[in-house]
Chain A
């Protein structure tokens, strides 16, 4: 499998948009009225026009809080380059001088950087001053010499021409041009080991020449206002449960290195936390998602003699998410226990759904129980669930629930607690398998065991 290097076609997307935005910022920064202050800057003995000092300070005035970062990116991509230490494209928080890169050398203008141009650049450097090429540049130079040997005469000729033309320029202009070119090549042919900002990852998209068909569907839509209000309501309801927003008790393990919070919130605990029990009242789904919540609800239903509903729902979930090979067997079990006339745990489904389900049983598949399952789910949600929340069972649970004490910040904050490891979930299942004596498919442990004990 080969990874294609980026071809020009692939640039008509994110990368170009990105560079264009940066270039827009750069143009605005050079605006004579609103832009940054530039002056002639003396570098060694030559005066460079239009240089800026105290770049960081100027940029801070011009941009907002992420000025430092954004400016850093502009330097990384070569839109601004340093005059001192020109090989290091990094923004320094001092008075060192920088210059804007000429649009001729903007990344988007000259993409992709051509091998020929690089060869000419290296040849120029080599001719201009023997030994000026760095080690890695020498290696690349000889590699290029081999690769494009057929046009080497042209390369050398071009290099000589360009050197001759530049000798006729003023020294200041010459230095500027050299700096610009060097910055350009630092970006497009970075030294080995240096950060390659033009690394864009895998090429995409793939070319699809599929023709498309057209089909129509009706979409019911809800008023915007209802939707917006539901977001506000949801966020408010869950705010206290969001550790990043409100913190968590006794403390956030990642911050304090203390795993007490996790211990108190593990799947099965003797006494759950108050927040956890409160959450069961937010929605029926929250109750069923929590293993302890489901267990408590089952206890309640047993008192009401309607536990078969929850068992049926669990069994249906097991089919939907279980192994394909066991679907038939599980469907038969469900029929025997829940749907057959005179079944031990017969569930009360309306006749229409029952007929449809029984029909489907002739050719059982993963979703054959879906309608019946949904019917029972909504039955429990509308009837048993609200009553459970009003029941003594739930109220006692809530009263018993613990509210952990917030850990006081340690006296010696610089002393780090020992971070203890926890048993891997993989280990837990292996032990269960050994105890059971037969290999169990790794499904949701809670659902399986609960279903197993009732079906």
Chain B
């Protein structure tokens, strides 16, 4: 690791490489071991106490090191001026709470899903509805647009993730060509295509994430490690493209290796459920939004939380977060019907956007960063720019 001074720091000092730190991680027992549970329990509780002690010790050690806060380093960065964003489009058509949305790579189409089981594909620019599917279940909490733009995936209380190829034939019933891909033992909370239409990553209320082959419906890899419902996930934009992060009701955000199924990093600083996780554009960090009314930034290389975005006057939980293209702004959709815009580097709130008449449940920035779209329990979606 480099040992040099950095001009951007408030104080010049030598950065030294840290020794590799030993971390203890918990993982669930494989079902076959369940019979030996009784014998193992004693050993486990002993190990747990030991690991907790070590964890405290590590935190103390870390505190001793010279630590710089992100906003200190960013002191010399220009502040952001007056920030004006308005609703540019309002999409009306859902009959109940909008739960999830995703952008198409063409930068103008979106897919959205709602509590009443409807999944709608819109051209958000013209506000025209292009396709509509009625799912056999309610609470469709997850939907995703395929990279090719030719299909959408969705799921919810049916515990499955299904892929619908988008047909332009007005007479064709999209549900006829539906393909069931993923099967979980509890509700589907999030889904995302990987770099192609061929694989889907899912997270579920059963506490696991899974990678599926779309063509065959085969399970390629499963990811165990969360102790409660997994609520969200995001794929890393890295060069090697092999990791993703997930957040759950156990207040943990876990980073996984997609090849091996192993959890490679874990972060637990939130005080409540993590509703949304999103990678910083460079892939070196990710942000999370939680029911504890804060958003946090975690750096993967430093292996720790590096910023908290919160205010005393912000009381209600964050349902979804996303970065602007440059990563300078963090947008958060909150349960008090507002959207707060944060300056990622300085840690301050830049703006608060009103407009929705009920909880903001989902928020995504468009692929080219020209706008972002928010979906709400007030049955509408809004595009802001």
Contact = CB atoms under 8 A, between A and B. Distances in A.
B98 to A, nearest CB: 12
A205 B9 CA distance: 42
A291 B222 CA distance: 32
B264 A226 contact: no
A444 interface: yes
A213 B44 contact: yes
B370 A252 contact: yes
25 contacts: A3-B157, A14-B291, A18-B316, A18-B317, A66-B313, A211-B29, A212-B27, A212-B28, A219-B265, A219-B303, A225-B9, A225-B15, A225-B73, A227-B285, A229-B8, A242-B329, A252-B370, A253-B370, A254-B383, A320-B195, A325-B215, A325-B216, A367-B259, A425-B106, A426-B150
B29 A217 contact: no
A254 B125 contact: yes
Interface in A19-71: 21-22, 25, 63-66, 69-70
Given A223-B17, A225-B9, A248 B227 contact: no
B299 interface: yes
Interface in A422-444: 422, 424-430, 441-444
A399 interface: no
Contacts of A252: 370-371, 385
Interface stretch (A153-161, A176-184, A231-239, A401-409): A231-239
Contact of A227 (B22, B125, B301, B357): B301
A269 interface: no
* Residues of B in contact with A, size category: 35 or more
Interface of A: 1, 3, 13-14, 17-18, 21-22, 25, 63-66, 69-70, 73, 195, 199, 201-202, 204-206, 208, 210-239, 241-245, 248, 252-255, 259, 261-262, 265, 284-285, 317, 320-325, 366-367, 370, 374, 377, 419-422, 424-430, 441-445
Given A14-B317, A242-B326, A215 B25 contact: yes
A22 B312 CA distance: 11
A265 B368 contact: yes
B173 interface: no
A113 to B, nearest CB: 21
B42 to A, nearest CB: 11
Residue in A25, A201, A317 with the greatest tally of chain B CB atoms within 10 Å = A201
B326 A235 contact: yes
Interface in B70-129: 70, 73-74, 77, 80, 85, 88-89, 97, 104-109, 123, 125-126, 128
B23 A219 contact: yes
A422 B106 contact: yes
A229 B9 contact: yes
B182 interface: no
Contacts, number: 350
Contacts of A232: 8, 73-74, 77, 345
A238 B281 contact: yes
A218 B23 contact: yes
B325 A241 contact: yes
Contacts of A241: 325-326, 369
Interface string B218-229: 101000000111
B23 A222 contact: no
A432 to B, nearest CB: 11
B358 A195 contact: yes
Given A235-B345, A265-B368, A441-B198, A243 B325 contact: yes
Residue in B25, B151, B280 with the greatest tally of chain A CB atoms within 10 Å = B25
Given A234-B280, A444-B148, 7 more contacts: A14-B273, A22-B315, A211-B44, A223-B302, A227-B301, A248-B370, A254-B383
Interface in B197-239: 197-199, 205-207, 213, 215-216, 218, 220, 227-229, 231, 237, 239
Given A14-B273, A208-B228, A228 B324 contact: no
Given A195-B358, A254-B125, A324-B216, A220 B284 contact: no
Contacts of A14: 272-273, 291-292, 317
B139 interface: yes
Interface string B29-71: 1000100010011001001100100000000000000011010
Given A243-B368, A254-B370, A235 B344 contact: yes
Interface in B135-162: 137, 139, 141, 146-151, 157-158
A245 B328 contact: yes
A143 to B, nearest CB: 24
A185 B375 CA distance: 29
A84 B198 CA distance: 61
Contacts of A370: 259
B6 A321 contact: no
B248 to A, nearest CB: 8
